[in-house]
Structure 1
Amino acid sequence: MLGLHDIIGMCECTEEEIRAVAMHENIPDAIATELAEYLITSEDGVPKIRKIIVEDIRIAKRAGNTEKEMQLNEVLKHFIATHPEYPTTG
């Protein structure tokens, strides 16, 4: 039986990126892994994941959760660095 770490290991996204998707969509990490993998391999998926992370940052900022905001900023920086072929505007 596959565990969550096995499932995450099969995805092109990091665990932190998957958790951002899970938080944004309010779904379990295992399902977020499947969604993230689908998005990362779709034509417009990388910009969608980037938008999800940006929205999560805004939510954390509005809530005054600076620790979460800083953590998600690092996730975003890593995501952009690992997918430089996509524009960062929007």
Structure 2
Amino acid sequence: MLSLKDCLDFCDMEQEEISAIAQHEHIPVIVAAELCDTLLHTEEGVRDLHSMLLDNIATALEHGEVERANELSRTYQHFQTSHPLAPRA
């Protein structure tokens, strides 16, 4: 049986990034790892992940959670470096 760590290691994203997607989608982290792995296989999916992470930052700021927004910004910066958006044709 696969553990949560196995699933996180399988996905090409950091645990903080996957946790942020889980928060955005209101799903368990293990389900988010599967979702992230699937979305990473298409340009549209990568765009969706970028949007979700940016939504989390905006939501934190709307709720006055500045420190959380800063944490999410650092997480997004790492994701952006690891999975840059492809230029639109």
Q: TM-score, normalised by structure 2?
A: 0.91
Moved over 2 A (4+): 84-87
3-state SS of 1:13 partner = coil
8 A Cα contact 1:11 1:37, kept in partner:
yes
Aligned length: 87
Q: Partners in 1 of 2:85 and 2:43 — Cα distance?
A: 12
Unaligned runs of 5+ in 2: none
Q: 1:5 aligns to what?
A: 5
1:14 Cα deviation after fit: 1.0
Specify the code of the residue in structure 2 equivalent to 1:69: A
Answer whether contact 1:13 1:40 (CA < 8 A) is retained.
Answer: no
User: Aligned equivalents of 2:42 and 2:75: distance in 1?
Assistant: 20
User: % of aligned pairs identical?
Assistant: 36
Secondary structure at the counterpart of residue 44 of structure 1 = helix
Q: CA deviation at 1:54?
A: 0.3
What's the TM-score once normalised by structure 1's chain length?
A: 0.90
Contact 2:39 2:49 in 1 (8 A): yes
Partner of 1:75: 75
**Gaps spanning 5+ residues in structure 1: where?**
none
CA distance in 2, matches of 1:86, 1:21: 20
After TM superposition, the structure 1 = structure 2 runs for residues 37-76 of structure 1, keeping only pairs within 5 Å, are 37-76=37-76
CA RMSD of aligned residues (A): 1.2
